[in-house]
Amino acid sequence: MEYEYALRAVDQSILKHITRREVEAAVASGEIILNYPTDKYGPSCLIFGLTSAGRPLHIQCTHATRQKVKIITLYQPQPEDWIDYKLRRRL
């Protein structure tokens, strides 16, 4: 599957030191934890996955119905904000 990075995803990958290989591993091992059917880029979802080194990542991307999946943003979730990195804690 072909994919591309949105500018925000490029910026976040640089700032947070997240490599392309880590993103690919996290998506391959991941699961969709949230859907955003009305996102401005078109329907998208939030994937939680682990890198081969066990680093947790969240990757928001468009659904695979597009010719190229667009990675909108990505980050390492903070444990204090998430339960098992899948369910957002209520503040």
What are the backbone angles phi and psi of residue 87, rounded to the nearest 5°? -125, 120
Categorize the per-residue pLDDT at 64 as very low, low, confident or very high, splitting at 50, 70 and 90: confident
Q: What is the mean pLDDT of residues 80-86?
A: 92
In whole angstroms, give the CA distance from residue 57 to residue 49. 6
pTM of the model: 0.91
Instruction: Give the chain's mean pLDDT.
Output: 92
Would you state the structure tokens that stand for residue 39, as one six-digit string? 């996102």
Categorize the per-residue pLDDT at 91 as very low, low, confident or very high, splitting at 50, 70 and 90: low
Go through 7-18 and write b for each residue having 16 or more CB atoms within 10 A of its CB, e for each that does not. eebeebbeeeeb
Q: What is the mean pLDDT of residues 12-19?
A: 96
Residue 1 has pLDDT above 80, yes or no: no
* CB atoms inside a 10 Å sphere around CB 57: 23
Residue 3 has pLDDT above 80, yes or no: yes
